[in-house]
Amino acid sequence: MEQITIDISLKDKMLALFEKNKQLLFKNNSKSMIDIKNNAIAKFNEIGFPHTKLEEWRLTNIEPYLKAEYQHHLQTKPIDVDIESIFQCEVPDLDTFVVVLFNGRYIYKHTPLTKLDNGTIIGSFEKALEEYPEIIEKHFNKYAKNDKNGFVALNTAFAQDGIFIYVPQNIIVEQAIQIINIINTTEEVFVQPRNLFIVEKNSSITLVSCDHSLTQTNSFSNAVTEILIDENAQLNHIRVQNKGKNSTLLNTTFVEQKNYAMLTSNVLTLNSGFIRNDLDISLNGEGCEANLYGIYLADKTQFVDNHTFVDHLLPNSNSKELYKGILDDKAKAVFSGKVMVRRDAQKTNAFQANKNILLTDEATINTKPHLEIYADDVKCSHGATVGQLDNEAMFYLRSRGLGEDCARMLLMYAFADEVINKIPIEALRVRLGNMVSKRLRGELSVCDQCVMHCNSKSPTQFNIDLSKL
């Protein structure tokens, strides 16, 4: 087990760690993959960790989070944990195929790599590298941009394990795949999972990613996910983030869409320590569709940062973006949405909206929806609002006999519902709706941080009798 304590600079430590463990990191890697990793570490050496002088990180000060003394585990060792003993998903009626990343490593009960009857492969990235090197080699690092920031380059250099999903052509995967990402350790860990999802032509799949931390120790997670959605394929990606206040999560996702590919992404951030979601989408085909939805609820001193980048490279694609946030106490949120329409991307439709409610004077929101457009036959718009609950709506509800708290709850829930009702899986939609309403009532903070772990078997009822309306 390799351990390193951070006292000089994390950057130097990381470089040293890489030098020292090349053998481990390059295990089963082909020549071209080794080149990629060497280039990535060189890139990291060149650009280092991002800092607030960079435009993209102006409002996201990551530096304090790099100071903790994290443990890095590079040694591969099958982890023998009974998944069900530590984690039970209690979303009623949710029929999913569950895979688990535990402290950044893939854990399993029977086999690290499952091949379903229809040819779909789901399992550990590390194992896939052993068994399907040609698929990995074809796609690894083809969509990620190591020059985006130092964290991406670092992740590429240290890519060992993560989730690997491969859907062959013409397959519709009926059952949703649920990816549970748990941090549960008494150590302060620095984990760098690397995920690769390939959806081949005419296929379709739904993924539910859940990020949880079960303990209160400091942890740093630098995850990079690469996704290819090939022609006519479809991916629904739902992310639920419910992290402890001492956890730092950087989630960078690169999506490449080919002709007529469709992506629906929902990001629901319910609790966070420090979360940054980077969603980088290349619409590298005609007639693509990308729908991005997000909601973030933050209180205390939580920090949520959503950066999205939608790059329209070719004609006739549509993108739609809706992010909403409710901020309480001293929470801080950042939203930066960028839509780029390249010269060839005529007939593009791109819409973007970011709406926020601030509940206290201490909460802060920074929003920056921007457009860069080089084609003329396009329709693009963006909007951003920051405000409070509508006084007239409030008055309407109160005049009908609702108490102030009830009325406020109802309005906040309605505000959030616009995003929640976009979730394609009904069981999950209902459950998340309940989670959000509980979250808005502040109940989850008394729970043990983990939503899924919640003891109440029956879904919580919304405490407003709607028949009164």
Partner 1 sequence: MENDKNNIIQELTQGDYKYGFVTDIETETSPIGLSEDTVRYISAKKNEPEFMLEFRLKAYRHWLTLTEPTWAHLHHPPIDYQNIIFYAAPKKQQTLNSLDEVDPELLKTFNKLGISLEEQKLFSGVAVDAVVDSISVKTTFKETLSEKGIIFCSYSEAVKEHPDLVKKYMGSVVPYTDNFFAALNSAVFSDGSFCYIPPGVRCPIELSTYFRINAANSGQFERTLIIADEGSYVSYMEGCTAPMRDENQLHAAIVEIIAHDNAEVKYSTVQNWYPGNKNGDGGIYNFVTKRGFCKGHNSKISWTQVETGSAITWKYPSLILKGDNSVGEFYSVAVTNNYQQADTGTKMIHLGKNTKSTVISKGISAGKSNNSYRGLIKVSKNAINSRNYTQCDSLLLGDKCGAHTFPYIETNNKSSIVEHEATTSKISEDQLFYCLQRGIDNESAISLIVNGYAKEVLNKLPMEFAVEAQKLLSISLEGSVG
Tell me, residue by residue from 203 to 242, as one string, x for binding to partner 1 by CB under 8 A and - for no binding: ----------------------------------------
Q: Is the separation of the CB atoms in 330 and 298 below 8 Å?
A: no
Tell me how far, at minimum, the Cβ of 450 lies from partner 1, in Å: 29
**Separation CA 340–CA 362 (nearest Å):** 33
**CB nearer partner 1, residue 64 or residue 387:** 387
Query: Is there binding between residue 370 and partner 1 (CB under 8 A)?
Result: yes
CA distances from 32 to 20, 136, 224, 348, 445 (A): 20, 11, 19, 36, 47
Query: Is there binding between residue 109 and partner 1 (CB under 8 A)?
Result: no
Query: Is there binding between residue 316 and partner 1 (CB under 8 A)?
Result: no
Tell me how far, at minimum, the Cβ of 366 lies from partner 1, in Å: 5
Residue from 42, 86, 384, 427 binding partner 1 (CB under 8 A): 384
Query: Is there binding between residue 395 and partner 1 (CB under 8 A)?
Result: no
Query: Is there binding between residue 21 and partner 1 (CB under 8 A)?
Result: no
Tell me how far, at minimum, the Cβ of 285 lies from partner 1, in Å: 20
Residue from 78, 84, 300, 383 binding partner 1 (CB under 8 A): 383
Kindly compute the dihedral angle of the four CA atoms of residues 213, 151, 228, 282, in this order, to the nearest 10 degrees.
120
**Separation CA 463–CA 460 (nearest Å):** 9
Tell me, residue by residue from 24 to 63, as one string, x for binding to partner 1 by CB under 8 A and - for no binding: -------------------------------x--------
Tell me how far, at minimum, the Cβ of 440 lies from partner 1, in Å: 16
Residue from 115, 368, 398, 453 binding partner 1 (CB under 8 A): 368
Q: How many CA atoms lie within 13 A of 464 on its CB side?
A: 24
Tell me how far, at minimum, the Cβ of 191 lies from partner 1, in Å: 32
User: DSSP state, 446?
Assistant: T
Tell me how far, at minimum, the Cβ of 341 lies from partner 1, in Å: 8
**CB nearer partner 1, residue 12 or residue 390:** 390
Q: How far apart are the first and last CA of the chain?
A: 62
Residue from 66, 68, 94, 375 binding partner 1 (CB under 8 A): 375
CA distances from 362 to 195, 305, 351, 365 (A): 37, 17, 30, 10
DSSP 382-398: EEEEEE---HHHHHHHH
Residue from 374, 403, 405, 468 binding partner 1 (CB under 8 A): 374
Q: What is the phi-psi region of residue 113: left when phi exceeds 0, alpha when psi lies from -120 to 50, beta otherwise? A: beta
Query: Is there binding between residue 347 and partner 1 (CB under 8 A)?
Result: no
Residue from 138, 142, 300, 343 binding partner 1 (CB under 8 A): 343
Residue from 5, 61, 75, 381 binding partner 1 (CB under 8 A): 381
Query: Is there binding between residue 301 and partner 1 (CB under 8 A)?
Result: no
When computed from its CA atoms, the radius of gyration of the chain, rounded to whole angstroms, is 22
**218-255 as b/e: b if 16+ CB within 10 A:** bbbbbbbbbbbbbbbbbbbbbbbbbbbbbbbbbbbbbb
**CB nearer partner 1, residue 84 or residue 372:** 372
Tell me how far, at minimum, the Cβ of 340 lies from partner 1, in Å: 9
Q: How many helices (H) and strands (E) does the chain have?
A: 10, 21
**CB nearer partner 1, residue 103 or residue 352:** 352
Instruction: Mention every residue, 6+ apart, whose C-beta is less than 8 A from residue 278.
Output: 148, 250, 251, 252, 253, 307, 308, 309
Which two tokens mark 154? 């670092």
Query: Is there binding between residue 306 and partner 1 (CB under 8 A)?
Result: no
- Does the CA dihedral 468-464-421-310 come out positive or negative? positive
DSSP 147-198: TS-HHHHHHHHT----EEEEE-TT-B--SEEEEEEEE--SS-EEE--EEEEE
DSSP 62-93: -GGGG-S--B---S-------HHHH-----TT
Residue from 38, 45, 215, 346 binding partner 1 (CB under 8 A): 346
Stretch that binds partner 1, among 60-68, 236-244, 382-390, 420-428 (CB under 8 A): 382-390
Query: Is there binding between residue 365 and partner 1 (CB under 8 A)?
Result: yes
Query: Is there binding between residue 394 and partner 1 (CB under 8 A)?
Result: no
Tell me how far, at minimum, the Cβ of 335 lies from partner 1, in Å: 9
**CB nearer partner 1, residue 322 or residue 432:** 322
Interface contacts to partner 1, rule CB under 8 A? 55, 343, 346, 356, 358-388
